Structure 1
Amino acid sequence: MVKTAVITGGAGGMGLATAKILGRDHRVIISDVNQERLDEAVTELKTLDVDADGVRCDITDRQSVDALFARAGEAGEVAAVVHTAGVSPQMGSAETIVRINALGTVHVTEAALAIADAGFALVNVASIAGHMVPGFIVPKRAYRLALTDHATFTRKLTAAASRGPASMRPGSAYSISKNFVIWYSQRQAASFGAKGARILSVSPGSFDTAMGRLEEQSGAGKLLDYAALKRFGAPEEIAELLAFCVSGRPGYLTGTDILCDGGTRAGLGLKGMIAMARST
């Protein structure tokens, strides 16, 4: 029986590129908040002979996420979930970014855990930004509330991101929310492991997607000054990694984060991070 893969944010960029790869041997369910983009993506996938369907989903709404997973499971076993849905600093307020990137990841992860079985895998997309948050401002106590109190978790993460100047708050919210995705994916490894399933995160650097280009003048382009590879990554390159991670081949890979950034973090020392903070 053909297994199903769910890809959030699957209507474009990394998500659509991943759907094209997983669609070679999976039934693919992609989700997005924009129905028009979703319809266009499904049409494109079907021209490639991918068995694809689209489900409009708002990941900040747990009922919407549950409906997505219920739809995905109608035709059989859901074996893989790639969670790429998210927003960047130019796309909303600190609260909006926290709700989508952090709370949305909690919703998707909880829904995935509920259906996980032996061989199942979930990959949450984080970011190099999550690796650049100074340890002393990481709100770990607020992170832990994601396990017990979603409303307070969202409020406290937003407050942590809102301590600086107004112009810096969306960027802070993005970095903190992606640092949370890394932490949370590691924290949930034991719960998934108890069911014979896996969870991990992947942290992209600067990639040539609509979101990546939107942030080009706000830091993504400047990061290339520190990268070993002086170019934006291609969506197909990160998609190969995401698809591999949820396949059965790396069956012992869980509870960790994989940084895929063209060598940017390796070349970004303290002075570089300070310069990046000043430039953004």
Structure 2
Amino acid sequence: MAAYRSALVVIGAGGMGLAIARRLGPGQRVVLADYSQKALDAAAASLRDHGHEVEPRLVDVSSYESVTELAKFATAAGQLNTVVNTAGISPHMGTAKRVYEIDLLGTANVIDAFIDVMAPGSSLITISSLAGHMPGLAMTPDLELHLATAPRDKLLSHPDIDLEGSSWLAYGIAKRGNIVRVQTGALAGKKNGVRVNSVSPGVIATAMTRHELQTDKGAEIRAIIESAAIPRAGTADDIANVVAFLASPDACFIDGTDILVDGGGLAGQRFNAAVEKS
């Protein structure tokens, strides 16, 4: 495969990943990766129909070996200027163990595998969630430090990480882990000038969210939307807009941080009742 001027890696071929690839893809070779061959084929076909050059690859983000193979392939595709990790599952899609493996360990694997092979001045962005900011999340200082700093092979070994417990609690802890993991990732990226950040979407109108609305948590999700400052679900393009900003030179002084893109959902959850009383 001949080297190209620049390459964009998007991990996760769902709604957000596809929107991000469309937004950032022009002029670059797009390396699109996913665990599902069916999802990968459909997203790659859609991108090609819009004129993008796409290199689809299967990947399992819970496996460091799989992610490192993807990183090797991507570096052969061209200069890696942007890597975006959107891979993740929601609580209804798997056990607590699987949520931790994909949503938490997967992020650590992507950061560790890509940070040393990206170009100076490049941007690595991972998708976290409003759930990592939610009030009442069971998060001790010791657990947060562990999530931020533990070696990836020890990341799931902590007394407060119950692999057999609630997948909903696992999701919140995993997403909080993403937020703090990019902070230490930014420090690791300092040596070769790679910026590492995360984006935390609120309720986004994807197929995954539509499925969640049919579960026993549907009423809670609707309540987040209704109490938000902007009372609507977001779109994948809303997230792609922020990712594009973080990948651009305009964000050259933003590193090790999380941008919450939730339409004021967190504000509503924290203070809506107090504001209504005043």
**Normalised TM-score (structure 1):** 0.88
CA-to-aligned-CA distance 1:209-258 (integer Å, 9 cap, x gap): 11122222513322112211111111111111112211233111111110
Match of 1:186 in 2: 183
In 1: Cα distance, 2:195 partner to 2:116 partner? 13
Q: CA RMSD in A?
A: 2.1
Match of 2:168 in 1: 171
1:144 pairs with one of 143, 146, 155: 146
SS of the residue corresponding to residue 16 of structure 1 reads helix
Q: How does 1:1-280 map to 2 (within 5 A)?
A: 2-9=5-12, 11-132=13-134, 134=136, 137-138=139-140, 140-141=142-143, 143-144=145-146, 147-156=149-158, 159-161=160-162, 169-217=166-214, 218=217, 219-269=220-270
SS of the residue corresponding to residue 208 of structure 1 reads coil
Preserved contact between residue 7 and residue 78 of structure 2 (Cα < 8 Å)? yes
216-225 vs 233-242, which deviates more? 216-225
The 1:253–1:50 alpha-carbon spacing in structure 2 relative to 1, beyond 3 Å, is: same
Preserved contact between residue 185 and residue 199 of structure 1 (Cα < 8 Å)? yes
The 1:56–1:136 alpha-carbon spacing in structure 2 relative to 1, beyond 3 Å, is: closer
Give 1:43 shift. 1.0
Preserved contact between residue 126 and residue 181 of structure 1 (Cα < 8 Å)? yes
The 1:212–1:134 alpha-carbon spacing in structure 2 relative to 1, beyond 3 Å, is: same
Q: How many residues align?
A: 266
Preserved contact between residue 161 and residue 172 of structure 1 (Cα < 8 Å)? no
Preserved contact between residue 203 and residue 259 of structure 1 (Cα < 8 Å)? yes
Give 1:271 shift. 8.4
SS of the residue corresponding to residue 115 of structure 1 reads coil
In 1: Cα distance, 2:239 partner to 2:98 partner? 25
SS of the residue corresponding to residue 39 of structure 1 reads helix
The 1:38–1:269 alpha-carbon spacing in structure 2 relative to 1, beyond 3 Å, is: same
Q: Which sections of structure 1, spanning at least 5 residues, go unmatched?
A: 273-280
Preserved contact between residue 133 and residue 175 of structure 1 (Cα < 8 Å)? no
The 1:189–1:146 alpha-carbon spacing in structure 2 relative to 1, beyond 3 Å, is: closer
Preserved contact between residue 227 and residue 272 of structure 2 (Cα < 8 Å)? no
Which amino acid is 1:43 matched to?
A: A
Preserved contact between residue 147 and residue 180 of structure 2 (Cα < 8 Å)? no
In 2: Cα distance, 1:152 partner to 1:139 partner? 17
Which amino acid is 1:63 matched to?
A: E
Preserved contact between residue 224 and residue 231 of structure 1 (Cα < 8 Å)? yes
**Normalised TM-score (structure 2):** 0.88
The 1:196–1:161 alpha-carbon spacing in structure 2 relative to 1, beyond 3 Å, is: same
The 1:79–1:148 alpha-carbon spacing in structure 2 relative to 1, beyond 3 Å, is: same
